[in-house]
């Protein structure tokens, strides 16, 4: 399968596969964000998810896929640092602000810098029409965040800090998207990168949050373990999908399409978290989807 995937790089078939992988990643990333935000402490929720996908990834990394080439270990070290910083910032933001405010700011900050980073690192440049699409999408995302900001009633006293943390988190989303694309392109077998990524990435949060588990009851622990396993499956499909999309397709296009996750997160907030919606939010969500469509059609 790895040979088939590598053979699609730079082809029309690879571009189509990248499109569907990025769109699926957008839907699943919104689910992943809601699982972390949920009713549990977001730090503990993320630790449960990370521990689960580390346990699942370990046998594949150690016994199934080829071992990483020597040149990959410094890359994995950098990946660990970048993703650790991202997760700390995200958990801090989620613990201080409403999901429907924080999430759009994170996702709105990311695509612009990802497109710029992909241009510098991979020489993948957008044309004028695609840049218009990016600006439409980012405008819609930030418009959604501003609308939610006006109407949110929870965590108002910590919302300023949450927004600042959300912007910083978005910067790290752009950084990890670009660097992960570099990493998965640097190895011969993309599934080697994925298996070792999930194994290495699973270490920090369970160790960092172990004291918080002392306050978790047995009933809560059972619920968290279930959430962790579900989150692990979603993470494999979401994070793994977007990394594979950046291997076979354009990094910037995949990143922009993934940010339609903001639309799906708004729907999840409405259907699962009891957060309200309305015609203005629906119009902004359509603007986000339209921006992504412009980027794809103008390619």
Which comes out higher in pLDDT, residue 156 or 165?
Answer: 165
Q: Say whether pLDDT at 38 is over 60.
A: no
pLDDT above 90 covers what percent of the chain?
40
The pLDDT score that the predictor gives to residue 191 is 96
Token pair belonging to 110: 């990311």
Name the pLDDT band for 195 (thresholds 50, 70, 90): very high
Give the mean pLDDT of 243-258.
92
The pLDDT score that the predictor gives to residue 274 is 64
Per-domain residue ranges of the chain: 2-297
Sign of the Cα pseudo-torsion (206, 193, 265, 141, in order): positive
Q: What's the mean pLDDT when you consider all of the chain?
A: 86
pLDDT digits (tens, 9 = 90+) for 47-104: 889 999 999 999 999 999 999 999 999 999 999 999 999 988 987 887 787 777 787 7
Distance, in Å, from the CA atom of 100 to the CA atom of 25, rounded to the nearest integer, reads 19
Q: Say whether pLDDT at 202 is over 90.
A: yes
Which comes out higher in pLDDT, residue 59 or 226?
Answer: 59
Of 58-67, 150-159, 284-293, the least confident? 150-159
Token pair belonging to 143: 């418009």
pTM: 0.85
pLDDT digits (tens, 9 = 90+) for 106-143: 878 888 889 988 888 899 889 999 999 999 988 888 88
Q: Say whether pLDDT at 190 is over 90.
A: yes
Q: Which residue has the tokens 């949920």?
A: 38
Name the pLDDT band for 159 (thresholds 50, 70, 90): confident
Q: Which residues contact 236 (CB under 8 A, 6 or more apart)?
A: 53, 56, 198
Distance, in Å, from the CA atom of 136 to the CA atom of 139, rounded to the nearest integer, reads 5
């Amino acid at each position: 399968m790895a040979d088939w995937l590598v053979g699609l790089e730079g082809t029309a078939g690879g571009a189509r596969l990248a499109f569907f992988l990025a769109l699926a990643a957008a839907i699943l990333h919104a689910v992943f964000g809601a699982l972390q935000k949920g009713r549990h402490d977001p730090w503990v929720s993320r630790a449960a998810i990370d521990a689960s996908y580390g346990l699942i990834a370990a046998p594949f990394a150690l016994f199934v896929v080829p071992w990483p080439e020597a040149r990959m270990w410094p890359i994995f070290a950098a990946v660990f640092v970048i993703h650790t910083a991202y997760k700390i910032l995200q958990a801090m933001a989620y613990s201080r602000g409403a999901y429907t405010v924080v999430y759009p700011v994170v996702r709105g900050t990311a695509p612009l810098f990802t497109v710029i980073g992909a241009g510098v690192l991979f020489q993948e440049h957008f044309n004028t029409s695609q840049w218009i699409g990016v600006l439409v999408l980012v405008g819609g995302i930030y418009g959604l965040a501003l609308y939610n900001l006006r109407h949110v009633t929870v965590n108002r006293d910590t919302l300023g800090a949450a927004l600042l943390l959300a912007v910083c988190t978005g910067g790290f989303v752009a950084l990890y998207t670009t660097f992960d694309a570099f990493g998965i392109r640097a190895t011969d077998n993309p599934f080697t990168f994925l298996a070792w990524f999930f194994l290495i990435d699973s270490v920090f949060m369970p160790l960092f949050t172990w004291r918080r588990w002392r306050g978790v009851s047995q009933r809560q622990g059972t619920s968290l373990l279930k959430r962790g396993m579900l989150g692990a499956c979603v993470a494999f499909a979401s994070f793994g999908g977007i990394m594979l999309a950046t291997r076979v397709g354009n990094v910037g296009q995949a990143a922009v399409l993934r940010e339609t996750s903001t639309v799906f997160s708004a729907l999840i907030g409405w259907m699962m978290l009891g957060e309200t919606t309305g015609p203005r939010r629906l119009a902004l969500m359509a603007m986000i989807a339209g921006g992504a469509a412009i980027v794809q059609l103008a390619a």
